[in-house]
Structure 1
Amino acid sequence: MRIDKLLGNLGYGTRSEIKKFCKQGMILVNGAETKRSDTHVDPEKDTIYFNGKEVIYREFIYLMLNKPSGYVSATFDNFDETVLDLIDEEYLAFEPFPVGRLDKDTEGLLVLTNDGKLAHRVLSPKKHIMKKYYAQVDIDINKEHISAFEKGVDIGEGYITKTATLEVLGKEKDEEGNEFTEVYVSISEGKFHQVKRMFHAIGGEVLYLKRVSMGGLGLDPDLELGQYRELSKEEIESMEEK
């Protein structure tokens, strides 16, 4: 790979800027100054320094974001801020995208990567990877509701959802004294507004929704809304657990 392409991919500058950096002696390859920006390097074998700091090259990045409400799960939107607006330039250079989507008003676990193959595997319906959500709903959940989720519910247009699990956590009250039920719901699909449509089908409405896990990957409780961090190798692999 050309040194200007490698550094450009990592956000160190444009090709013309990197050409100037080379001439200024700011780039070292295996301890020697590299004056030509078209010099070919092997990022896995060569040691590269930029302005005194070692350049760590990697093909893919994997980020866990605690998505806040109000952001669209997309790389671009004409009207709203996207989740990429929360990510620093050093990662944006890799051109990451969300693995799946969360509704604009839904919070919680969202993975961003530039690894298309991993994203395809995680999102493939054939994999049956579970996504778990914490929800607050405006109805009392009974055994019939739980059974309906297990059997599958009609969410419109004749579509019957695959089996899902519904776990009641308890009842709480909001600041105005209105009661709501706290639940966990786990689904293996990702239809448009699916969780909300499922509760609507049994006569309820979702007041608050947050994704807490995907496969074996759980949301880091230390991440505040809008914060993110890189995933470990073990966490990346856990995403594909059923």
Structure 2
Amino acid sequence: MRLDKFLSEVGLGSRKEVKQLIKKGQVKVNQVVVKSDKTQVDPEKDQIAFLDAPLIYQEFYYYVLNKPAGVISATSDPVHRTVLDLFSSEDYRTDLFPVGRLDKDTEGLLIITNDGELGHQLLSPKKHVEKEYFAEISGIMDQADQEKFEVGIILAGEKMLPAKLMIDEVTAVTSKVRIILQEGKFHQVKRMVKACGKEVTYLKRIRMGQLTLPVDLKKGQYRALTDEELVKLKE
């Protein structure tokens, strides 16, 4: 790997910015100052330091974020605040992206990573990775609605995959439910509930695959996945 690419990968700046650091003699490879950005290095064998501080190379980064309402699931936007705007300058990387999307007003679990292969695996319809949501509904969900979900609701002429509707609580005019999907169509939960004659008033994703939203992660907070959580996510 070229030295400038390595420095950029570990977060020291853009390729243009790190070239200047190298030219200034601020980078050492195996305790020797190197001033050529084209120098080839082996991240696993060479000792690379910036201002004598060792640099550790990590190819992939995995974070779990408790997305708050009001931010969009995008890497950048000229108008709206994005989920990556919630990251500190120390953790932010230009190659990070959200795995899938949650609507602007939807809260809950969102995976942020730079691992494109994992992102593809989690979103591929062929993998049938479950996504579980908690929802508050205006209207009373009942057994007939559960049966519609199990058969597969038709939206805009397309039949959705079978889904599971679990009714947790019902009042005179509202319901609290959990919904498990195996796909992630545009506004799918809201549209499926609307197809049953009701309306979603609050929506939160609480699980993706085997990974559940950490109970101690407050809205707007994120943290790196533990090794155990990463294993669950990849199962």
Matching residue of 2:227? 233
Letter in 2 for 1:152: G
Matching residue of 1:73? 73
Can you give the 5+ residue segments of structure 1 that lack an aligned partner in the other structure?
173-177
Find the aligned partners of 1:240 and 1:93 in 2 and give their Cα distance. Answer: 22
Find the aligned partners of 1:100 and 1:188 in 2 and give their Cα distance. Answer: 13
Matching residue of 2:166? 167
Contact map agreement 1:97 1:114 (CA 8 A) in 2: yes
- Is 2:6 the counterpart of 1:6? yes
- For residue 58 of structure 1, give the secondary structure of its aligned residue in structure 2: coil
Alignment of 1:133-212 (within 5 A): 133-155=133-155, 157-171=156-170, 180-212=174-206
Can you give the 5+ residue segments of structure 2 that lack an aligned partner in the other structure?
none
Taking structure 1 as the reference length, the TM-score comes to 0.88
Contact map agreement 1:72 1:104 (CA 8 A) in 2: yes
Matching residue of 2:215? 221
Letter in 2 for 1:138: S
- For residue 75 of structure 2, give the secondary structure of its aligned residue in structure 1: coil
Q: What is the aligned length?
A: 235
Matching residue of 2:57? 57
Taking structure 2 as the reference length, the TM-score comes to 0.91
Find the aligned partners of 1:233 and 1:65 in 2 and give their Cα distance. Answer: 16
Letter in 2 for 1:222: D
- For residue 149 of structure 1, give the secondary structure of its aligned residue in structure 2: helix
Matching residue of 1:130? 130
Letter in 2 for 1:121: Q
Render the CA deviation track for 1:109-134: whole Å, top value 9, x for unaligned: 11111111111111111111100001
Contact map agreement 1:97 1:113 (CA 8 A) in 2: yes
Render the CA deviation track for 1:134-165: whole Å, top value 9, x for unaligned: 1000122221111111111122x212211111
Find the aligned partners of 1:232 and 1:24 in 2 and give their Cα distance. Answer: 37
Cα 1:14/1:190, change in 2 over 3 Å: closer
Alignment of 1:101-112 (within 5 A): 101-112=101-112
Instruction: Give me the CA root mean square deviation.
Output: 2.0
Letter in 2 for 1:236: L
Contact map agreement 2:153 2:159 (CA 8 A) in 1: yes
Runs ≥4 in structure 1, deviation > 6 angstroms?
none
Find the aligned partners of 1:234 and 1:56 in 2 and give their Cα distance. Answer: 22
Contact map agreement 1:99 1:110 (CA 8 A) in 2: yes
Matching residue of 1:175? none
Contact map agreement 1:67 1:225 (CA 8 A) in 2: yes
Letter in 1 for 2:232: S
Contact map agreement 1:9 1:94 (CA 8 A) in 2: no
Q: Deviation of residue 51 (structure 1)? A: 2.2
Cα 1:222/1:53, change in 2 over 3 Å: farther
Moved more, 42-51 or 204-213: 42-51
